[in-house]
Homo-oligomer: A and B are copies of this chain.
Amino acid sequence: MIFITRRERFNAAHRLFRADFSDEKNLEVFGKCSNPNWHGHNYELFITVKGKVNPETGFLINLKQLSKLIREKVTDQLDHKNINLEVPFMKGKFASTEVLAMAIWEQIEADIKALGADLHCVKLHESENNFVEYYGQ
């Protein structure tokens, strides 16, 4: 069993807020992250897949294909976008890094299986000081 990780990046705007909270409540719970005029990040995404090395090719998965899949299904939809307003797979969801990591898992799990590997971890950095990891359950 070998684990392979591919890093991709995207820059996006977002805010933390709940529609069922008043502005005051949003500010109290989420602080400056709830700014109605948005703020943004350079997100770093690490997708880890696992599986057996293919005896035919000598590797587990074609990294070009993995990178292409992550771009088409994830980063092209997030890059230079507003996560709250414009990202189909985040529609109706809370735009925290935690929820985003879980949504990215849903977005690519089946496609990675189709490439012959298993999705192991979605790791998402919001800044140099904060990141989340999701293992699918």
| Main DSSP-derived SS at the A contact region | mixed
A110 contacts chain B at the CB level, 8 A cutoff: no
Query: Would you call A5 and B58 a contact (CB within 8 A)?
Result: no
Contacts known (A58-B18, A59-B96); A86 close to B132, Cβ less than 8 A? no
Query: Would you call A98 and B135 a contact (CB within 8 A)?
Result: no
Which of A6, A13, A16, A53 lies at the interface centre, i.e. has the most chain B CB atoms within 10 A of its CB?
A13
Q: A6-B129, A13-B13, A48-B133 are in contact. List 14 more A-B contacts (CB 8 A).
A: A1-B135, A2-B98, A3-B132, A3-B135, A4-B98, A5-B131, A5-B133, A8-B129, A11-B39, A11-B127, A40-B40, A58-B96, A59-B96, A59-B98
6 tightest Cβ-Cβ pairs between the two chains A and B: A40-B40, A58-B94, A37-B82, A32-B80, A13-B38, A3-B133
A115 contacts chain B at the CB level, 8 A cutoff: no
Q: With both chains docked as a complex, state the minimum distance between the C-beta of A50 and any C-beta of chain B, in angstroms.
A: 9
Residues on A lying within 8 angstroms of B by beta carbon are 1-9, 11-14, 16, 18, 29-33, 35, 37-42, 48, 53, 57-60, 63-64, 67, 79-82, 85-86, 94, 96-99, 101-102, 127-135, 137
